[in-house]
């Protein structure tokens, strides 16, 4: 007869041995379907802590941050959407210049390090996976970066940008944010202006993914209805589970499903539990609920590492993604569903964005311009020639006082001629 001690030892050994096949299953799944992560703010931290001077750091090992090449490899991240975010305070100032500088650091980072490869297409993503490279996608975070200019948007596309969130924590002159942090460009019942619609149309024409994370729910809904291509929430979670304005309610998720879009679940603790603390189980609750509402085929992952400070226990950095996949397997998610969450769902959306681009190839670049009244930017020059008034005009007078003076002068001259005739 076995003693209690032997039973405990045997039970522990069984647990350990059973855990190995699960870990191998996760590893095998993520090797076959490595992750495409929808949002990472490493470029922001490179600017804050190193002034974008890549020569002063080694991206293989960044102990201050949650992201480096070593941990991206451990986390089985094959493609990373890097945000080129600039603060809302730069709106109407130097937002365009700062965005260019952030694009520059991502391009340098992803060309100077052999582990990385800058990609701009679905085929590029697939090719980089074959070469075991970490693909870099560039995403603008906040429409204020384009300075309300479609030509600027087009130039960003030429530099490699393939996605843009229409707002960040501030309204733009043409789209509404979910945040009320900045009291700028307040409007009533106009969450996406005519110029905002033109931005969406031009992004469709270019083949740029429209991202509605950070946008108000009304803006997101209007964009879904107006866009010819599917849109994404690159880093948002479920409002049903955590009632934070950055999360997405069920009714809007259903609209996203209708438009063939994608929600990439954010891992920030405050968006997961609406508190500072969370764990992997809480994160999995968001995945379970969204799957129940719109299906696993509409879900991805957008961790938001380096953009926020607090992450769930067990998901402290980018190397921990296998822990999340293990939890979802434990909750009876199928390998096919997880293959979609890890990469296939994003590839499907990106392919549809490129298909719409190809359909619109005959369309010329939009020449829609925003009015100066909408922009309200004193730093914006108007170079159009001014209409000059003639010095003497028999029919047009600049003001009523001049007309009165000339009238009285004519009376005086008439009377003078009568009495001196």
The whole-model pTM stands at 0.86
Name the active-site residue from 176, 201, 304, 337. Answer: 304
Strands 134-141 and 161-165: parallel
CA 155 vs CA 96, 146, 198, 201: distances in Å:
11, 10, 16, 16
The H or E element containing residue 233 is strand 232-233
Kindly report, residue by residue over 104-130, the tens digit of the pLDDT: 999 999 999 999 999 999 999 999 999
Measured in whole angstroms, how far is the alpha carbon of residue 359 from the centre of its chain?
Answer: 24
Name the active-site residue from 37, 68, 141, 202. Answer: 141
CA atoms lying within 13 Å on the CB side of residue 54? 17
Residue 132: strand pairing partners: none
Q: Is 304 a catalytic residue?
A: yes
The per-residue pLDDT for 229 is 98
Which of 187-201, 246-260, 308-322 bottoms out in mean pLDDT, i.e. has the lowest? 187-201
The per-residue pLDDT for 411 is 53
Question: Which one, of 250, 178, 193, 257, lies nearest residue 224 by Cα?
Answer: 257
Q: Is 268 a catalytic residue?
A: no
Residue 79 pLDDT greater than 60, yes or no? yes
10 Å Cβ neighbour count for 184? 15
Strands 77-83 and 35-40: parallel
Name the active-site residue from 76, 144, 168, 326. Answer: 168
CA 194 vs CA 175, 358, 414: distances in Å:
10, 24, 58
Q: Is 214 a catalytic residue?
A: yes
Confidence of residue 3 (pLDDT cuts 50, 70, 90): low
For 93-101, which contacts have Cβ atoms below 8 Å and span 24 or more sequence positions? 93/379, 95/144, 95/145, 95/147, 96/145, 96/146, 96/147, 96/149, 96/152, 98/145, 99/140, 99/145, 99/146, 99/156, 100/159, 101/47, 101/52
Kindly report, residue by residue over 371-380, the tens digit of the pLDDT: 988 887 777 8
Name the active-site residue from 39, 268, 286, 326. Answer: 39
The per-residue pLDDT for 406 is 47
Q: Is 41 a catalytic residue?
A: yes
DSSP state of 318: G
Confidence of residue 69 (pLDDT cuts 50, 70, 90): very high
Name the active-site residue from 41, 176, 211, 317. Answer: 41
Residue 420 pLDDT greater than 60, yes or no? no
Residue 250: strand pairing partners: none
Q: Is 277 a catalytic residue?
A: no
10 Å Cβ neighbour count for 21? 9
- The sign of the dihedral angle between the CA atoms of 364, 139, 106, 115 is negative
Average pLDDT on 344-355 reads 98
Full set of structural domains in the chain with CATH: 22-361 (3.20.20.140)
Give 300's contacts (C-beta < 8 A, 6+ positions apart).
Answer: 36, 38, 232, 262, 263, 264, 265, 341, 345, 346
How many whole angstroms separate alpha carbon 395 and alpha carbon 73?
78
Question: Which one, of 114, 105, 92, 96, lies nearest residue 45 by Cα?
Answer: 105
Average pLDDT on 277-286 reads 98
Name the active-site residue from 144, 214, 286, 326. Answer: 214
Q: Is 286 a catalytic residue?
A: no
Residue for token digits 């190839």? 361
Question: Which one, of 202, 191, 200, 88, lies nearest residue 141 by Cα?
Answer: 88
Residue 415 pLDDT greater than 80, yes or no? no
CA atoms lying within 13 Å on the CB side of residue 93? 7
Measured in whole angstroms, how far is the alpha carbon of residue 200 from the centre of its chain?
Answer: 13
Name the active-site residue from 144, 235, 244, 286. Answer: 235
């Amino acid at each position: 007869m076995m003693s209690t001690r032997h039973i405990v030892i045997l039970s522990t050994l069984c647990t350990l041995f059973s855990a190995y096949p699960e870990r191998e299953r996760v590893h095998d799944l993520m090797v076959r379907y490595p992750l495409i992560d929808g949002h990472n703010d490493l470029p922001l931290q490179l600017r804050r802590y190193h002034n974008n001077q890549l020569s002063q750091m080694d991206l293989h090992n960044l102990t201050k941050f949650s992201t480096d090449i070593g941990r991206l490899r451990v986390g089985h991240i094959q493609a990373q959407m890097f945000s080129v975010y600039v603060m809302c305070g730069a709106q109407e100032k130097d937002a365009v210049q700062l965005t260019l500088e952030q694009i520059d650091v991502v391009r340098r980072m992803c060309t100077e390090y052999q582990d990385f490869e800058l990609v701009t297409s679905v085929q590029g993503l697939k090719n980089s996976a074959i070469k075991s490279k970490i693909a870099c996608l560039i995403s603008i975070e906040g429409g204020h970066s384009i300075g309300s200019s479609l030509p600027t948007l087009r130039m960003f596309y030429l530099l490699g940008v393939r996605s843009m969130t229409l707002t960040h924590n501030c309204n733009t002159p043409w789209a509404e944010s979910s945040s009320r942090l900045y009291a700028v460009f307040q409007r009533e019942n106009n969450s996406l202006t005519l110029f905002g619609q033109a931005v969406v149309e031009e992004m469709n024409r270019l083949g740029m993914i429209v991202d509605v994370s950070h946008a108000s729910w009304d803006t997101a809904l209007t964009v879904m209805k107006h866009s010819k291509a599917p849109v994404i929430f690159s880093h948002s979670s479920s409002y049903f589970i955590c009632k934070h304005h950055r999360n997405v309610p069920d009714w809007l998720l259903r609209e996203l499903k209708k438009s063939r879009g994608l929600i990439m679940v954010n891992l920030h603790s405050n968006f997961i539990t609406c508190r500072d603390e969370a764990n992997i189980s809480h994160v999995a609750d968001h995945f379970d609920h969204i799957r129940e509402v719109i299906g696993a085929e509409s879900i991805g992952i957008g961790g938001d590492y380096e953009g926020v400070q607090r992450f769930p226990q067990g998901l402290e950095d980018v190397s921990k993604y296998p822990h999340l996949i293990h939890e979802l397997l434990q909750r009876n998610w199928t390998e096919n569903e997880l293959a979609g969450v890890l990469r296939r769902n994003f590839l499907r959306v990106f392919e549809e964005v490129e298909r719409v681009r190809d359909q619109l190839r005959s369309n010329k670049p939009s020449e829609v311009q925003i009015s100066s009244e909408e922009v309200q930017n004193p730093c914006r020059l108007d170079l159009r020639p001014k209409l000059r008034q003639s010095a003497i005009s028999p029919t047009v007078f600049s003001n009523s006082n001049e007309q009165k003076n000339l009238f009285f002068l004519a009376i005086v001259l008439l009377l003078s001629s009568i009495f001196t005739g």
